[in-house]
Amino acid sequence: MIDSLLALKDKAEASPILEKLGLCRRAGNNGRDRLIMRYALLTLHRPANVDNRDVFHNILAGLEELRKEWLVVFPVHPRTRGRIREFGFESCLKPSGPSDNGSARGSANYREGTLLIEPLGYLDFLCLMKHAAFVVTDSGGIQEETTILGIPCVTVRENTERPVTIESGTNTLGGTKADTIRDAIRRQLGREMKLSAPQYWDGQAAKRIIDTLARIHYERYPLRLPSPSLA
């Protein structure tokens, strides 16, 4: 997974997703510089989180404070979208447009609320994640990717099979209760992120796997060269 991310993260910059979503605007004389507004990225798809109405509602309640201050971009998994309709949660996830008073944070227009979008392909999503200021997720893979990218992340689960992301400080568990999620978000927003990749997260995992397989193969089946001809 990290091999793929490191191999493609520069290519992902060519994605037009930020412009399509109105998250940046061109600036400068050449029009190539991008001013990117501050936003958080949210993903939810695990059945334990979205199939249970009470748990899903608690998670959304835990995000309410964040949504009042930030724009939260939410690529919605098909399972999750179905549950939003089934549980009547549309009112909890109202999309938001540019602020009426033109207030700004930094050089970008400031917005708040939730922007629901369709699921994205890998390069579009990677571009969106790279430029996010904050991530809330229940995805194991995104916990790893935000660690490599140095983006603060809150995982809305009670445990994680990626403890190294917790040790690195980029990720923290928020649980699935509203108060614990709010507390975790506040802690992560106040923490200074330090980019420190775990050992072997260097984009060379595939090469090491191939080298190991080749070594084991030739230890078991040594290459025997033909005897030189006596003719």
| CA gap 63, 56 in Å, rounded | 11
Take residue 154 and report the two structure tokens written for it.
């809150």
Burial 107-131 (b: 16+ CB within 10 A, else e): ebbbbeebbbeeeeeebbbbbbbbb
Sign of CA pseudo-dihedral 157, 159, 162, 165:
positive
Residue 57 designated active-site: no
Percent of residues in the chain assigned helix, strand, coil, to nearest 5: 45, 15, 40
Q: In whole angstroms, give the CA distance from residue 174 to residue 155.
A: 6
CB 176 within 8 A of CB 55: yes
Contact 125, 75 (CB under 8 A): yes
Kindly report the number of other CB atoms within 10 A of residue 144's CB atom. Answer: 21
Among residues 110, 141, 107, the alpha carbon closest in space to that of 126 is found at 141
Residues with a catalytic annotation lie at: 45
